[in-house]
Structure 1
Amino acid sequence: MTGDPLAPRAAPLHALPPLPPECPLPMPVQALGRGRIANPPRPTTPPNMAWRRFGVIGGVVLLTLVATYQMWWLLRGDGIDVLEGLLLVLFVALFAWIVQAFVGAIAGFVLLLQRRPLRMGMHADGPLPALSTSTALLVPIYNEDPARLMAGVQAMHESLDATGQLARFDVFVLSDSRRPEIQAAEAEAFVALRGRLGANARVHYRLRQDNHERKAGNIADWVRRWGGAWPQFLILDADSVMSGETLVRLAAAMERHEDVALIQTLPVIVNGNTLFARMQQFAGRVYGPVIAYGVAWWHGAESNYWGHNAMVRTRAFAGCAGLPELRGVKPFAGTVLSHDFVEAALMRRGGWALHMIPGLGGSYEEGPPSLTDMLVRDRRWCQGNLQHGAVLPARGLHWVSRWHLMIGIGHYFTAPMWAMLMIVGVSIPLLHAGFSWGHFSLEGFTPTAWWREQDGDRFIAVFVATMFMLLSPKLMGWLATVSDPAMRRGCGGALRVFVGMLLETLLAALMAPVTMWVQSRGVAEVLAGKDSGWEAQRRDDGVLPLRELVRLYGGLTLAGVVAAVAAWMVSPALLAWMSPVVLGLLLSIPIVALGASPAAGRWLRTRGIFLTPEECAPPPVLVRATELRSPGTNGN
């Protein structure tokens, strides 16, 4: 049996249309051990940047010092022992982390309410500027679903055609796929795409024979072979879609501002079907702008880069962003995995400006369909961000670039730090209350009662201040959403947005112990030298069979049982006090399964919970991409 003779055959690679003539552009590898920052005046730098940064950093330092003093006062009674000293260090680090997000969110909230025009003369609507240069859209892929990918490419191609400026753009699908069957399917899907687009097709396909340096090497290969012919390029992930109008506005802004190397948009998460995916896209849509506007306000011309949905000046990237191999021991050594942060830092070192424009719109991506898929992706990001420890000492980096790198590293250390803070925060009252292995029971014991005995008013003030700063960015996101009539309607109304915020907070709290455990384990594995590998991501279906869920999360459930029994043996009140964490561990399997459920996502959508404007009134480019991905669609 040789298969269905009528089934479509894979297009041979020799049948692919020729690639454009090569126009090489040198991209030298940069040295981290030497270099000086080029810091000329940049015309696009916003005014009063020193005061903005002083306000943010100064506010973080001041609030952290006040909280640190309060915590020190609680601990100082009989002198500070080793455990109490460790608690104080953990508290200071984590409180500063929370305060930084809080202060930045205040700035973003004020900017959203003011409805200021976009920076750099950009506009989210109105007449489109005419372009005078060419832009390449690069789509690096690795073992993705070819038909799904080409549907997104076709939707963007058609959207660009509708602007009347398609001739200024070329799309390069840059494949690093290694599986022969996927390579053949990519070639076949690409030939079919060219056939659908007809004579106006401005799409190209290149299969790289050696996928050295992964995604960063894929992009660098294009720059070195074709970069001289396209003054700017934009990288799209396999799940990214951008409107033609937004692409034209980004290219025009790059043409107008010669000092700019990168303009980063704020991608909106779309197309979520499962409960977890819809929860994430709701959080990104409601809370995300508050955070993004805040960081853009104080980062100024030293913005960060997220690796996709951003316009990049080819000359700046080629001249500054050639990545070296990192030295040391595996998995820190070798190819830079989280390349985007490092590329941004090196371009800024070269004297170029980098900006984030969060209010532009028309920029979309998809999120992972389940908590499991998010944690798999997060494990790879963990290794990449911890690698940045080797980049931090690089000579000539701007201090804000170093700040970006430290934030990326710190993000993964917060999980084990939170775990340690909780353990130490329980251990200190237990030991002071007379707990010993020979005498478990402490009737009515809770850590809160012991802490309140030290100084009740001070303890409550520190706790309330911490929770307020932790949760207020969400509240500010809700207020900013309901104050904008279009956003309020697009999210289902003020009441539904508020219910969605409460539900998202509850679900996030239940998932937090799982995330904390997996991230802490990831940090330990990276430090022990275990590599994360490189696997294709699941895009739509996040469902796992029960056997796989038990394999992945059975240990967490068992840990929840042990924690519950141990807490109850000390005091039923302690078990009640620990219930948020214990429940998250005990219910890890059903919580993950519920989050991956499309049925739960549909149920909430029919009731208007977790709605986003892109669901209520989908942009044309998303409608077209979804239509092309539907079974039975021939692309016409």
Structure 2
Amino acid sequence: MALSLDALTPETARSVDHPRKHQPATPVESRLSMPTQSLSRWSAAEKQSFASPAPRTPYLARAFVFGGAALLTAYGAREMYEVVSVSRTTLLQYGLFALFTLNFSWIALAFTSALLGFFALLFGLAKQPPKAIERLSSRTAIVMPVYNESTARTFAALEAIRESVEKTGHGAVFDYFVLSDSTSPDAWIAEERAFLRLREKLGPDARLYYRHREKNHHRKAGNIADFVTRWGGAYEHMIVLDADSLMTGDCIVRLTAAMEADPRAGIIQTLPIILNRNTLLARLQQFAARMAGPVIATGLAVWSGRDGNYWGHNAIIRTRAFAAHCGLPDLKGKPPFGGHVLSHDFVEAALMRRAGWSVYMLPELEGSYEESPPSLIDLSVRDRRWCQGNLQHSRIIGARGLRLATRQHFATGIMSYLASPLWLLQLVVGIALVLQTTYIRPEYFSRDFRLFPSWPRFDPERALWLFGITMAVLLAPKILGLILMLMDGAKRRASGGAIRLTLSALIEIVLSALIAPILMLIQSGSVFQILIGGDTGWNPQRRDDGSIPLRDIVRRHRWHTLLGIVTGLSAFLIATSLFLWMSPTILGLVLAIPLSWLSGSLAAGLALKRLGLLQTPDEYLPPAIVERANQLQRENAALGYDDEEALAVLHRDREFRELHEAMLPHRPHRLRGEFDSDRVMAEAKIIDAERLDEALAWLKPRERMVVLNDRALLSLAMRLKS
């Protein structure tokens, strides 16, 4: 009989965490081969063949997006040339012209894609998911990879997802896997305790499994690949989550039905809505994503068609197709450009598409959610990893057999990070030009024997006009999204009404403009570090609301502030017009420390929330699954699993220790002469200790992981006095 834990206190829950009759933590293996793919060799004969005719490629939409972007770029370039060619054009002016054209082409493409999305949403042209589902005929695994995450959050989300799926009546065809790559001993043991408790709570039909990898080889990509090769044969599809993902049962069922109805589909991506956080930055991101996200994503979905992209989570994947074509190779050389593929999702979509499978998005499928980083520093930490992964794609963009649209996805990702140093360089060249016109003597005796002296000059009126056009193009996706929300009565009212909605949009635009120069410098620094060989590693993402100590903020942003002050003084001394032109950038940098502190402020976010500002429809009427996950998270947090020391828990609870040992993989005996320094040191420290607290004080985290993975060492540690 299933054990009811709804009314348990933390103390009583600890005593009934683990049933004596223990089911295996994982199901019987159903293996699939996952061969490593080649990026340099490919034959069209390797493509998957289908009986049904291939869907049409959206050439008209692509002509609109790319042709429109080209025409807009040509117009911007012509205007810029007129600005700098009033007199004899210098080398610096040519440099400014080239940088502006490159940067403007980037935002022009984003503009035309968003414009396409706007019209598609306005006239209902986006691809629609299936509505009525009588039955599902295939088995699907819902997998959640975790890496040193809070178990209170992750297991609450998984339980809420499972409950929502069960309510649809289709729950029997879904199994749930927690795939742990955690390297923290405390996180690992907390995961096992949370898993055992939840499975006992759900009863004999839990269909919930847990696996921990001793070595997190190839990180998340390797984690998913390990699942596919060991258990993927039992499932037609897998739905991949992140640790902060939530998906409603209706969304999961309709997504699975869409995959079953489309035998060509390899990956179908949803559009996750950002919500459930309350710091100022999180609320800014939630509002911006709700306002502009559908416009941007729909435009991308329409012109990409079946040549879409994959974002690594909240998507369904055809398991056998993934196994056959998405084995990622290691890139030659060392990180950051060599080694394993960091941003694996883009590459997996590219390889799936190369093999003939369709990859596309259903942006109007509701019920897919994720969370955002709580502060500017947390955002920059995540962004650093994404920056390296996208720049690494420069080694993959030329791979044999890729579709042109796929290469465009890679180029977009690369340019999203190169744009920052290019904008920075454009600012530097602009300042140099002002210096040149202000302090360098004009050339009185030019080679063409002109009567008047020659020096670099600009057309100020045309420059102001071009600046206005650039700002309009840059802000257009947000304005278009705002227009659609104002036109939708339900969304308008749920966002606080027309006045609050418009005011929220203005707040988001102003604060984003102030934060933009800080992010520009951070991303420029990241690009520079990567180009000189700096590797980011893979740190767990901080997902909780809460502030960062002020000393850490000052240390992180002091150079940004100093640069802002120096730039502002220099610009003012050079020319008042230059100072006014650069004032938004200067102000953002000078205020970097208070802005970063404010970004992680829970009080500031909640104050705006009380005023009804930066409010989204999902916040006004929270989805039931979000409220349920939050309730379960509070219950899980009260159990205290995330706050206890792993070895102390095992020492105290013999029954749980037996279950932990049962979940460890069986290893062959060590060979004679085989030497593991961490194991040797751990064994020596345990032997030398008399009490457990002494051993805990001496053992390093890596040595504790060795102990938890080794039955003999664990038995030795458990003999110590408490």
Q: Same fold (TM over 0.5)?
A: yes
Aligned pair 1:387/2:396, yes or no?
A: no
Q: Which has the larger radius of gyration?
A: 2
Where do residues 235-314 of structure 1 align in structure 2 (5 Å cutoff)?
235-314=240-319
Amino acid at match of 1:140: P
Mapped to 2, the partners of 1:6 and 1:59 lie a distance apart of 65
Among 37, 50, 54, which residue is 2:59 paired with?
Answer: 50
Runs of 5+ unmatched residues, structure 2: 1-9, 442-454, 640-722
Pairwise CA distance, 1:464: 2.0
Asked if the contact 1:385/1:408 (under 8 Å) is kept, the reply is yes
Runs of 5+ unmatched residues, structure 1: 437-449
Residue matched to 1:83: 92
Residue matched to 1:106: 115
Label 1:5 to 1:319 Cα distance change in 2 as closer, same or farther (>3 A).
closer
Over residues 57-113 of structure 1, what are the superposed CA-to-partner deviations in whole Å (9 max), with x where a residue is unaligned? 111111111221221232234443321222111111111111111101111111111
Asked if the contact 1:44/1:353 (under 8 Å) is kept, the reply is no
Residue matched to 2:563: 559
Aligned pair 1:577/2:581, yes or no?
A: yes
Among 382, 397, 401, which residue is 2:406 paired with?
Answer: 401
Output the TM-score relative to the length of structure 1.
Answer: 0.92
Pairwise CA distance, 1:118: 3.6
Label 1:458 to 1:466 Cα distance change in 2 as closer, same or farther (>3 A).
same
Where do residues 493-532 of structure 1 align in structure 2 (5 Å cutoff)?
493-532=497-536
Aligned pair 1:23/2:27, yes or no?
A: no
Residue matched to 1:346: 351
Over residues 292-322 of structure 1, what are the superposed CA-to-partner deviations in whole Å (9 max), with x where a residue is unaligned? 1111110000000000001100111111110
Mapped to 2, the partners of 1:45 and 1:542 lie a distance apart of 50
Residue matched to 1:439: none
Q: Give the SS at the match of 1:322.
A: coil
Where do residues 526-545 of structure 1 align in structure 2 (5 Å cutoff)?
526-545=530-549
Residue matched to 2:43: 36
Over residues 571-606 of structure 1, what are the superposed CA-to-partner deviations in whole Å (9 max), with x where a residue is unaligned? 445333322111111111111111111111111011
Mapped to 1, the partners of 2:20 and 2:276 lie a distance apart of 32
Amino acid at match of 1:19: T
**How many equivalent pairs are there?**
614
Pairwise CA distance, 1:631: 4.8
Pairwise CA distance, 1:371: 1.0
Over residues 501-548 of structure 1, what are the superposed CA-to-partner deviations in whole Å (9 max), with x where a residue is unaligned? 100011011111110111000001111111101111111134111111
Among 401, 410, 427, which residue is 2:432 paired with?
Answer: 427
Pairwise CA distance, 1:221: 0.5
Pairwise CA distance, 1:7: 9.5
4+ aligned runs moved over 4 Å, structure 1: 4-7, 9-16, 39-48, 631-635
Pairwise CA distance, 1:36: 3.2
Q: Give the SS at the match of 1:618.
A: coil
Mapped to 2, the partners of 1:460 and 1:577 lie a distance apart of 10
Among 534, 545, 551, which residue is 1:547 paired with?
Answer: 551
Label 1:610 to 1:384 Cα distance change in 2 as closer, same or farther (>3 A).
same
Mapped to 1, the partners of 2:397 and 2:469 lie a distance apart of 32
Label 1:503 to 1:45 Cα distance change in 2 as closer, same or farther (>3 A).
farther
Asked if the contact 1:16/1:187 (under 8 Å) is kept, the reply is no
Asked if the contact 1:27/1:318 (under 8 Å) is kept, the reply is yes
Pairwise CA distance, 1:198: 1.6
Amino acid at match of 1:521: G
Among 412, 415, 418, which residue is 2:420 paired with?
Answer: 415
Mapped to 2, the partners of 1:183 and 1:497 lie a distance apart of 44
Label 1:423 to 1:16 Cα distance change in 2 as closer, same or farther (>3 A).
farther
Over residues 195-248 of structure 1, what are the superposed CA-to-partner deviations in whole Å (9 max), with x where a residue is unaligned? 221223121000012211000000001110111110000100000010011111
Higher mean C-alpha displacement, 68-77 vs 212-221: 68-77
Mapped to 2, the partners of 1:494 and 1:44 lie a distance apart of 47
CA RMSD of aligned residues (A): 2.3
Q: Give the SS at the match of 1:578.
A: helix
Where do residues 105-504 of structure 1 align in structure 2 (5 Å cutoff)?
105-116=114-125, 118-119=127-128, 122-123=129-130, 126-435=131-440, 454-504=458-508
Pairwise CA distance, 1:632: 7.0
Mapped to 2, the partners of 1:387 and 1:94 lie a distance apart of 21
Residue matched to 2:658: none
Pairwise CA distance, 1:634: 7.7
Q: Give the SS at the match of 2:481.
A: helix
Pairwise CA distance, 1:570: 2.6
Over residues 374-410 of structure 1, what are the superposed CA-to-partner deviations in whole Å (9 max), with x where a residue is unaligned? 1100000111111101101210000111111111111
